[in-house]
Amino acid sequence: MINSDPMGQLGFNARRRPGSGLLAPFVWVAGLIATALAVTVGALLAVFTAAAVAMIAVVGGCWSSSPVSPCAPAAP
């Protein structure tokens, strides 16, 4: 018989098989830890990138010759 339900294969229990091995829970926890670590590293890289872009914008704004530059000397 063909299972034609498009949502029938979704869910946590769709891939679980009885007796899938003694290491399966440990592999699952290792995957969870690896995912959390990857998300943390990605967030840190995003923060460092934002700080670098902000620093480039501030330094670039101070070195521009525009009269409205925030680092331009005050008019006497």
Helix (H, G, I), strand (E, B) or coil at 46: helix
State the pLDDT at residue 56: 87
- The pLDDT tens digits along the chain (76 residues) read 566 666 666 666 656 566 578 888 899 999 999 999 999 999 999 999 999 999 888 887 666 666 666 666 666 5
State the pLDDT at residue 43: 98
Q: Which amino acid is at 31?
A: G
State the pLDDT at residue 36: 98
Task: With beta carbons less than 8 A apart as the criterion, state whether 31 and 23 touch.
Answer: no
Task: Determine the longest span between alpha carbons in the chain, in angstroms.
Answer: 89
C-alpha distances in angstroms, 76 versus 68, 71, 73? 15, 15, 9
The pTM of this model reads 0.55
The distance of Cα 25 from the centroid of its chain, to the nearest Å, equals 25
